[in-house]
Amino acid sequence: MSTPILEIRDLHKSFGGVAAISGVSLRVQPKETLAIIGPNGAGKTTFYNMLSGRMPPTSGQVLLEGRDITGLPPHRISRLGISRSFQINNIFPEMTVRENVEVALTAFYGQSKRWYNLYSNNTEIQLKADVLLERLALLELAHQRAGTISYGDKRLLEIAVVLATDPHVVLLDEPTAGMTPDETKRVTALVKKLAETGEYTFLITEHDMEVVFSLADRIMVMHRGQCLVIGTPEEVRQNREVRVAYLGEEE
């Protein structure tokens, strides 16, 4: 096996003495898509918060490409190559779709949003924006104001903004939450294509099992802050404990 791109060692997080994550260890291989499933409150978002630097763990370690990044602030971790989406929309509604992507790119390549107007005719930024808009099937909407596009397209724009930081590891938190079945299919197909570019390692939390089973190379099942099972979709599907605890089967 190659060196893991991401290694988590015995991670713990408690809030005022209440354990949200208790002893998660994990090795993620480069280019893999790992789905993280588990009931509400299992600790999925808290886990992401520690990987992205939003919250320091109570104990344990996070290694990115062999480098200890535990407890670094979010901007440092994002520079080092882990980028995340949120369960809620995180875009500027007054700006166009294209401007949202260009602002994210401009910020990443060294200028603040304040300087965006000066840099908005930078061809390199424009070319990169084109690639991202194309990859998320948003080119046709590029000139619309972000606040006016559909919910599904907003979530796609959010992914484009996440990818603007040129991440190696992308954390998606419930990318299809609240979507219609058609929007869900569209987003799933686009994420699948992104994974197939071989440029990203994806961690995806998701409640929709169809999405999980169609995207994941491996699945980690979280339960009460622990990893209940990790394995291929087939292994997880066959696992009795998972079938009873999570997929809703009778004992």
Residue ranges in contact with ligand ATP by CB under 6 A? 15, 20, 38, 40-46
Site stretch for Mg ion (CB under 5 A), options 30-38, 41-49, 76-84, 107-115: 41-49
Residues in Cβ contact with 69 at an 8 Å cutoff, skipping those fewer than 6 apart: 53, 62, 63, 76, 77, 80, 82
Which of these, 90, 84, 98, 151, lies nearest to 128 by C-alpha position?
Answer: 98
Q: Kindly state the smallest distance separating residue 228's Cβ from ligand ATP, in Å.
A: 12
DSSP state of 31: T
The interface partner of residue 20, options being ligand ATP, Mg ion, none and the CB cut-off 5 to 8 Å by kind, is: ligand ATP
CB of 41 to ligand ATP, least distance (A): 4
Choices 11-19, 36-44, 125-133, 138-146; region in contact with Mg ion by CB under 5 A: 36-44
Tokens 């929007």 map to which residue?
Answer: 183
- The position carrying tokens 């099992």 is 209
Q: Specify whether the CB–CB gap between 119 and 125 falls below 8 A.
A: yes
CB nearer to ligand ATP: pick between 84 and 135: 84
Q: Which residue in 79, 97, 205 sits closest to 156, CA to CA?
A: 97
Q: How far is the CB of 210 from ligand ATP (least distance, A)?
A: 17
Q: Stretches 45-53, 94-102, 190-198, 225-233: which one binds Mg ion (CB under 5 A)?
A: 45-53
Residue 78 found at the interface with Mg ion (CB under 5 A):
no
Q: Is 98 helix (H, G, I), strand (E, B) or coil?
A: helix
Nearer to Mg ion, 185 or 207 (CB): 207
SS (H, E, C) 156-225: HHHHHHHHCCCCCEEEEECCCCCCCHHHHHHHHHHHHHHHHCCCCEEEEECCCHHHHHHHCCEEEEEECC
The three-state secondary structure class of 90 is coil
Residue 40 site contact among ligand ATP, Mg ion, none (CB < 5 to 8 Å, cut-off depends on kind) = ligand ATP
Nearest approach, Cβ of residue 118 and ligand ATP (Å): 38
- Residue number, 103 or 187, with CB nearest to ligand ATP: 187
Q: How far is CA 55 from the centre of its chain?
A: 16
46 binds Mg ion (CB under 5 A): no
Does 85 bind Mg ion (CB under 5 A)? Our answer is no
- Name the residue nearer to ligand ATP (CB basis): 39 or 93: 39
Site for Mg ion (CB under 5 A): how many residues? 2
Give the shortest CB-219-to-ligand ATP separation in angstroms.
14
**Exposed, middle or buried by CB within 10 Å (0-12, 13-18, 19+), for 249?**
exposed
Q: Does 45 bind Mg ion (CB under 5 A)?
A: yes
For residue 162, the minimal CB distance to Mg ion (Å) is 16
Go through 121-143 and write b for each residue having 16 or more CB atoms within 10 A of its CB, e for each that does not.
ebeebeebbeebbebbbbeebbe
Binding site for Mg ion (CB under 5 A): 44-45
